[in-house]
Structure 1
Amino acid sequence: MNVRRLIPTAAVSGAVALGLVTLSACSGSSTAADKAADGKLSVVASFYPMQFLAERIGGGHVSVQTLTKPGVEPHDLELKPRQVSDLSRADYVLYLKGIQPAVDDAIKQAGVKNTVDAASLTSLEKHGTEVGHDHGAEDHADHDHGDEAGADPHVWLDPVKYAEVAKGVGASLEKADPDHAADYRKNTAKLVGELKALDAKFAAGLKNTATKTFITTHSAFGYLAERYGLVQEGVAGIDPEAEPTPARVKALQEIAKKDKVSTVFFETLASDRTAKTLAKDTGLKTDVLDPLEGITDASKGADYLAVMDSNLTALQKALGAK
């Protein structure tokens, strides 16, 4: 994954005393240290999928702040050398290593005892621009995978893997705050049940479709594609702003025709220019498939579960669900 705006190494090492991260994106001007005074566990989450887990599982026992403002593409997050004390004083930090390298560095230097990497709570796989089931090797041998293949961090888009992460987060919160362990266990069980129901809804809703292939500008849906027997064809790789090569565009035009693809998906937090250009050149429609890296007013739902329902509806329409 190409993250383009990182703090220079020298600046990072020199900024430890000054602070690496701004948490003003969170509610009001209160800090993790301030909120700790109310008796709640002060939690810092790296971006929305982690925030959702912390809030749902932590419930009323936690005060959650996020490092990524709503509307900011997480891969592009800029970390400023201020208020490192807010991060270092947190009781609990939840992040997903590999999606925001600048955040990874800041969290590592903060040295919070209860720091949980969601990537360690499930298994990661290597995904490129093309991934999914029902692929004959000979059918797609000429597809351009480029150099994007690597450990794909987008595990939250697979409800089953996200449930695995939720269980691990619940267990870690129990350890960090044993006085409220029973509530964390209860909240975890409820959320895991909702994610299981979501998985069942996706499985049933995508079982019978006219095509199994979908094209997306952001190759974030590899785990989802594998889970439900679909084929994700990414315009570029797992970096949402990466530009496709001419060879990749040509290959996608051929794929769209061969696999009866109707739609090119784009996302809410990145430019739709590439999707619209490809759609125009191939006579396809465009629609939103949200990778759920943040919730904004433009999101088709108020939280993870609602947006995933919208994603299911969009996929059913594009794939010709029966």
Structure 2
Amino acid sequence: MRRRLLPALLVSALALAGCGDQAGPAGTTEDGKFEIVTAFYPLQFLSERIGGDVVSVTNLTKPGAEPHDLELTPRQVGDVADAGLAVYLKGFQPAVDEAIDLEAKDKGFDAASVVPLLPAGGADDHGHEHEEAEGGEDPHVWLDPVRLVTIGEKLAERLGQLDPAHAAGYTERAQALSTELTALNTEFADGLKTCDRRELVTSHTAFAYLAARYDLHQVGITGISPEAEPSPQRLAAVAREARETGTTTIYFETLVSPAVAETIAREVGAKTAVLDPLEGLVDSAGDYFTVMRQNLAALETGLGCKQ
């Protein structure tokens, strides 16, 4: 990932923050709602569901945009500075990390700090090394509904500390969301329990948490970064493994070109299908649950799962 340096933006951002017409205490809107800034869609989803109608949520990543290399405008840096809470996932978006470190360090909620993370890169589930192994930790934790329950609970606790007048409501809504996420986890566990294949061949390795939770074996054409270009050797290795395991579907994601997945699919005579890593919401009519259930249907079909 490219690092986005912010100092040139900060003077403009602080000027915007200082000349706003915001009323009421810092971190609240004119009508008294608690202001939350979120880094990308899954954290927006959590904040809106747990915050309810007593919060105002701003997402720094626009719908349908690829979030990995987000660049912040001066006004967005000002939004971070003005917010009552900035919800992010450290290590996923360098520009957001830097803005929070400089402008909202005491008001940041790092989702990566409240649940255990898996290592990034290195090898797929069969021990095959990726040439672009990045090290560090895999940020795609929201694709595990069980871990997302914990993040939601911790977010509700933090909101209750910052906005004690509405703490009971945050806790109640987090519990309701936990019930829904637990039911979703059961749907995935039941739907993927008995399948003809358990190899999950994806355009990049965004699905380690989902694979680990439901006993699938992720085989990524590229590593954590969707912008990485696989070498001919890596393409050949994935194609060979796809043939050996009888893979019939190669998955690509919504915000990245399907060209690499299509190349492997042609090579092995497989189909392609969408598996959405939910980094950004493409369909404004849907939400986290809609997309995750679409993912489950795609997996059940592509892996030959039986009810």
- Per the normalisation by structure 1, the TM-score is 0.87
Instruction: State the match for 1:136 in structure 2.
Output: none
Q: State the SS of the aligned residue for 1:243.
A: coil
Change (3 A) 1:268 1:129: farther
Change (3 A) 1:204 1:129: farther
Q: State the SS of the aligned residue for 1:16.
A: helix
Q: State the SS of the aligned residue for 2:74.
A: coil
Amino acid in structure 1 at the alignment position of 2:11: A
Amino acid in structure 1 at the alignment position of 2:224: I
| Residue 226, structure 1, aligned to residue 216, structure 2 | no
Quote the Cα distance in structure 1 between the aligned partners of 2:191 and 2:151: 24
Quote the Cα distance in structure 2 between the aligned partners of 1:247 and 1:143: 12
Match of 2:287 among 303, 310, 321: 303
1:83 is displaced (CA, Å) by 5.5
Structural RMSD (CA): 2.4
Instruction: State the match for 2:262 in structure 1.
Output: 276
- Per the normalisation by structure 2, the TM-score is 0.91
Q: State the SS of the aligned residue for 1:152.
A: coil
Instruction: State the match for 1:155 in structure 2.
Output: 141
1:279-290 counterparts in 2 under 5 A?
Answer: 279-290=265-276
Amino acid in structure 2 at the alignment position of 1:260: G
1:146 is displaced (CA, Å) by 3.7
Q: State the SS of the aligned residue for 1:127.
A: coil
Quote the Cα distance in structure 2 between the aligned partners of 1:212 and 1:145: 23
Quote the Cα distance in structure 2 between the aligned partners of 1:47 and 1:196: 22
Instruction: State the match for 1:166 in structure 2.
Output: 152
Quote the Cα distance in structure 2 between the aligned partners of 1:87 and 1:30: 16
1:112-191 counterparts in 2 under 5 A?
Answer: 113-128=106-121, 130-132=123-125, 140-141=126-127, 143-144=129-130, 146-191=132-177
Match of 1:259 among 240, 245, 253: 245
Cα deviation 1:45-102 (Å, max 9, x = unaligned): 0000100000000001100001000111001212233463322111111011111011
1:18 is displaced (CA, Å) by 1.5
CA contact (8 A) 2:50 2:174 kept: yes
CA contact (8 A) 1:129 1:232 kept: no
1:14 is displaced (CA, Å) by 3.5
Quote the Cα distance in structure 1 between the aligned partners of 2:75 and 2:97: 16
Quote the Cα distance in structure 1 between the aligned partners of 2:236 and 2:113: 37
| Residue 13, structure 1, aligned to residue 7, structure 2 | yes
Change (3 A) 1:220 1:142: closer
1:113 is displaced (CA, Å) by 3.2
Instruction: State the match for 1:80 in structure 2.
Output: 73
1:36-47 counterparts in 2 under 5 A?
Answer: 36-47=29-40
1:188 is displaced (CA, Å) by 0.3
Cα deviation 1:247-271 (Å, max 9, x = unaligned): 1111111111111111111111111
Identity of aligned residues (%): 47
Instruction: State the match for 1:196 in structure 2.
Output: 182
Amino acid in structure 2 at the alignment position of 1:84: V
1:281 is displaced (CA, Å) by 1.8
Unaligned runs of 5+ residues in structure 1 are 24-28, 133-139
1:127 is displaced (CA, Å) by 3.2
1:293 is displaced (CA, Å) by 0.8
CA contact (8 A) 2:86 2:104 kept: no
Quote the Cα distance in structure 2 between the aligned partners of 1:317 and 1:251: 24
Quote the Cα distance in structure 2 between the aligned partners of 1:82 and 1:66: 13
Q: State the SS of the aligned residue for 2:11.
A: coil
Q: State the SS of the aligned residue for 1:126.
A: coil
Change (3 A) 1:89 1:112: farther
Quote the Cα distance in structure 2 between the aligned partners of 1:86 and 1:312: 36
CA contact (8 A) 1:130 1:234 kept: no
Quote the Cα distance in structure 2 between the aligned partners of 1:222 and 1:305: 19
Q: State the SS of the aligned residue for 1:37.
A: coil
1:90-109 counterparts in 2 under 5 A?
Answer: 90-109=83-102
